[in-house]
Amino acid sequence: MTPPDAPVVESPMLELLTGFIVELRAAGLPVSLTENLDAMQAITHIPLEDRDAFKYALAATLVKNNSHWRAFETVFEVYFSLRGKQYSLGGDVLDLPEADDEDQAQANPDAAGAGAGGGGGEAMSPEQMAEMLFQALKQGDNAMMRALARQAVTRFAGMEPGRPVGGTYYLYRTLRNLDLDSVLQRLMDESNDDAPEPMSPLEERLERDEFENRIDKMKKEIEAEIRRRLVADRGVEAMAKTLRKPLPEDVDFMHASREELLGLRKAMYPLTRKLAVRLARKRRHGRKGPLDFRATVRKSLSYGGVPADPQFRYPRPAKPEIFVIADISGSVAAFARFTLQLVYAISGQFSRVRSFVFIDGIDEVTRFFEGVEDISEAIHRVNTEADVVWVDGHSDYGHAFEVFWEKYGREIGPKTTVIILGDARNNYHASQSWVISEINKKSRHLYWLNPEPRAYWDTGDSIVGEYGAHCDGIYECRNLRQLEKFVDILE
Amino acid sequence: MDYRFDSPASVTTRLRGVDYLSDEAIAGVVFLADRLGKPILVEGPAGTGKTQLAKSVAEILGARLIRLQCYEGLDESKALYEWNYKKQLLRIQAERNNESTWEDIETDIFSDEFLLTRPLLEAITSDEPVVLLIDEVDRVEVETEALLLEILSDYQVSIPELGTIEAKQIPMVFLTSNNTRELSEALKRRCLFLHIDYPDMEREKEIVLTKVPEITDNLADQITRIVRSIRQLELKKSPSVSETIDWARTLLLLGVDTITEAEAIETLNILLKYQSDITRATKEFSADTNQRRPGVPRTS
């Protein structure tokens, strides 16, 4: 463990910073040597006792991508929070500030209680505490909320030293006991009663947003408190390692947790826009056509025969037609939602995109994406209205492809790019890979994106290799990074 | 070298003097950029004051703002410098009857007189203090980014015929990006990174009060609360700070003291620019909030 007075002494600070940067790299942030040096230089200009300035100095030099901010913040909190101002409790005098810095937070409930009970004394009953929480939230009293967060963690989290669990479990226990949902309800009821006349829906909504905002703040306080104690218990490096999470672009579509999915969805919108821009850019790339010799000579006459103003031919951009065929069966459910978003993004950008979804039957869903403003609505319609189940609703690639070929095969032309999305887990049905081969012969390009890790390909009922033999390219596509890589080669 | 700012706090105060309300991150990064002599890459949603930051910094420094608006197809002849081709041709033609040698003409036509400076070259050759703003740098192609690298890291421009032109003074440089594509590592490495997001409610309220001085405190409070609620919805385009200010001005003109539901819905088209977003927000505001489906995650 690092001594609490580290910022004053120079070499422990350097050591801490080096550890900090090593951890950032371990978390996946690309920190180059120059950036490392910049950071070291930057903090010499910043008063070290100003924690915020210190944080922003490090962020400005080390984090060059906003989606990495969360990862940076987590690591920063772990490395630099022990001596943060949180311990001074918003100006209140704390009897035993070092209590939690030592190894066992659990051993000193009284100390924390004394510090936290700014108005309530040591032996608060749960009811008193709930009341204080209610008042603090109602008035938006940040110092009190912070104190209550400490108190709540001490009381409810049941933290035991040395247990190798992350903070999530403790957080869950604390929140369950505080029951913030009913607090919110009570807050709403109260302000409804206090209002001179019944609140309009708008007012009510604003009020609710305000309270929800405060409750979020409270949750963050609790989380920070738990993290501080865990760091004190288990040391900086171990904790940083536990809290390490993949960056948004590395989150696996198939195994994303609920929280990560939410994050993915948030990251999705800018990404789809980014993809669309890139696709459009690809098409417009090299806008100047080749030199038009005849026109250049003609133009040069006005400069006395000097070709001062070279002329170029107009480019003839190819108008790609894109067919997207996506597996939406249960085995790739998480991926399917993602692919549908991708289809939506592509179809907004190109005039001729046709999309198909299949499980064991196949259906065209282009119509659901046309003129739809709201992607979730389109996805909902695809999931409910598309006719994709033929027999039992288990993937049957062979049958789906066969039907596709029969119904739509003749519409594939030399300008068509076909993209197939799926894990090729065929439940041991016939593969009908001749269809893929035929599609490849007729189309311009045929790509396959597989959401499974490459190591699992062709194991069990996966027959991606058999299909892949007939494709122009087959790509592992498990996270945004890999998808972006694919888009780069996509024309 | 003299530094332009004493401390992050002085940046905040001086920016406030020109009606730009910064936060710790903004002030800290501007301060550092001055100390380290590095460009700032400013990123964030549209309408959060990225370009305005450069303008305001130029204003407090009393510097000239040189702006390079990026677009697809920007090349060095538009960004760095260009030889005045036509003037060179004229010069050659005028020489035709004289006795001058090939070398004379060559040294002559590749001199300063025939050089057209473009924003980047102009910024580093200027004698007076300048702030260089490279706007929407994400719009140029990856290859074109390379043009900027030399000037960003060494503050110099190499012209094959003339040699290297070094900066007379190190200007403050701001690059803005709407993040439509990933910028190259090389570019990012040379810059300090600053992400400007939508301001929190208190700061936005201050901004509204500063920009629309006639407004009442109560109305500003209400406006920013509604805007915060709207930003929490999943929209195509969240309202920007400038749209918040427009809305405040509109409500003031309409003589509104407290915003009722009807007024909010009627004037929503100032905040939101897509019909689907407007429909969405209208529905959200007129619906009874108690009936919000449980378990539907809100975006924060």
Q: Is the pLDDT assigned to residue A109 strictly greater than 50?
A: no
CB atoms within 10 A of CB B24: 15
Closest residue of chain A to B9, computed from CA coordinates: A53
* Candidate from A294-303, A337-346, B120-129, B237-246 with smallest mean pLDDT: A337-346
pLDDT, residue B22, reads: 87
Using a CB–CB cutoff of 8 Å, tell me whether A292 touches chain B: no
**Domain spans, chain A:** 11-95, 101-243, 258-285+318-487
Higher pLDDT, A71 or A285: A71
- Closest residue of chain B to A64, computed from CA coordinates: B193
Instruction: State which residue of chain B sits closest to A65, comparing Cα positions.
Output: B193
Distance CA B207, CA B23 (A): 11
Higher confidence at residue A104 or residue A399? Answer: A399
CA A202 from chain center: how many Å? 31
- Nearest chain B residue to A66 by CA: give it: B195
- Residues with Cβ within 8 Å of A57's Cβ and at least 6 positions away in sequence, in order, are A39, A42, A43, A45, A46, B28, B32
Whether B99 shows a pLDDT value over 80: the answer reads no
Cβ contacts of A213 on chain B, cutoff 8 Å: 228
Determine the average pLDDT of the residues in B223-231. 88
Chain A interface, mutation test: which of B22, B32, B219, most A Cβ atoms within 10 Å? Answer: B32
Lowest mean pLDDT among A47-56, A190-199, A438-447: A190-199
ipTM above 0.85, yes or no: no
pLDDT band at A261 (very low <50, low <70, confident <90, very high): low
Task: Please give the average per-residue pLDDT across B74-80, as a whole number.
Answer: 85
Using the CB atoms, write b or e for B165-193: b if 16+ within 10 Å: bebeeebbbbbbbbbebebeeebbbbbbb
State how far residue A118 is from chain B, nearest Cα, in angstroms: 27
Contact yes or no for A66 and B232 at CB 8 A: no
Q: Do A32 and B236 touch (CB under 8 A)?
A: no
Contact B185 A206 (CB under 8 A): no
- Rounded mean pLDDT, A20-40: 88
pLDDT, average across residues A344-360 = 76
Most confident of A61-70, A112-121, A375-384: A61-70
Specify whether the CB–CB gap between A361 and A390 falls below 8 A.
yes
Identify residue A315 by its one-letter amino acid code: P
Residue of higher predicted confidence among B74 and A126: B74
Question: Which long-range contacts does A161-164 make (Cβ < 8 Å, 24+ apart)?
Answer: A161/A103, A161/A104, A161/A105, A161/A106, A161/A107, A161/A233, A162/A233, A162/A234, A164/A234, A164/A242
Q: Which residues of B touch A308 (CB under 8 A)?
A: 85-86, 89
A162-166, A364-368, A405-409, B68-72 — which is least confidently predicted?
A162-166
Chain B environment of A377 (Cβ under 8 Å)? none
Q: What percent of chain A has pLDDT over 90?
A: 0
Beta carbons of B181 and A63 less than 8 Å apart: no
- Please give the pLDDT value at position A90: 36
As a whole number of angstroms, the distance between CA B124 and CA B132 comes to 9
B179 to chain A, closest Cα gap in Å: 8
Q: Is A38 on the interface with B (CB under 8 A)?
A: yes
Coil vs helix vs strand at A19:
helix
CATH class of B6-75+118-193: alpha beta
Q: What is the C-alpha to C-alpha distance for residues B300 and B283, in angstroms, rounded to an integer?
A: 19
Q: Rounded CA gap, B184 and B182, in Å?
A: 6
CB count in 10 Å sphere of residue A268:
20
Name which of A91-105, A285-299, B35-49 the model is least confident about.
Answer: A91-105
Q: Calculate mean pLDDT across residues A30-49.
A: 87
Question: Is A52 an 8 Å CB contact of chain B?
Answer: yes
| Mean pLDDT computed over every residue of chain B | 84
Q: Cβ contact (<8 Å) for B29 and A60?
A: yes
Closest CB to B285: pick one of A205, A213, A278.
A205
Residues of B in contact with A208 (CB under 8 A): 289
| pLDDT number for residue B66 | 92
8 Å CB contact between B121 and B167: no
Whether the per-residue pLDDT at B169 is higher than 70: the answer is yes
- Indicate whether A77 pLDDT > 80: yes
* Residue in the structure block whose two tokens are 């080669």: A489
**Predicted pLDDT of residue A135:** 80
Mean pLDDT to the nearest integer, B265-286: 83
In our burial notation (b when 16+ CB lie closer than 10 A, e otherwise), range B263-285 reads: ebbebbebbbeeeebbebbbebb
Asked if B225 lies within 8 A of A216 by C-beta distance, the reply is no
- Residues of B within 8 A of A277 (CB-CB) are 180-181
State the nearest Cα–Cα gap between B2 and chain A, in angstroms.
14
pLDDT interval class at B58 (50, 70, 90): very high
Percent of chain A past pLDDT 70, that is, above it, reads 73
- pLDDT for A356: 87
Which band of pLDDT confidence, cut at 50, 70 and 90, is reported for residue A428? confident
The residue to which tokens 């809290």 are assigned = A243
| Per-residue pLDDT reduced to its tens digit, B101-125 | 778 888 888 888 888 888 888 888 8
- Architecture of the structural domain at A258-285+318-487: 3-Layer(aba) Sandwich (3.40)
* Res B218: pLDDT: 87
| pLDDT grade for A85, boundaries at 50, 70 and 90 | very low
Per-residue pLDDT of A273-326, as tens digits, reads: 666 665 555 555 555 677 888 888 888 888 888 888 888 877 666 666 788 888
Q: Over the range A215-241, which residues count as b (16 or more CB within 10 Å of their CB) and which as e?
A: bebbbebbbbbbbbbbbbbbebbebbe
Question: Mind telling me how many Å the CA of B38 is from chain A's nearest CA?
Answer: 10
- Please provide the average confidence, as pLDDT, over all residues in chain A: 74
pLDDT score, position B42: 93
Would you place residue A117 in the very low, low, confident or very high pLDDT band (cuts 50, 70, 90)? Answer: very low
pLDDT given at position B140 = 85
- Those of residues 195-254 in A touching chain B at CB distance below 8 A are 200-202, 204-206, 208-210, 212-213, 216
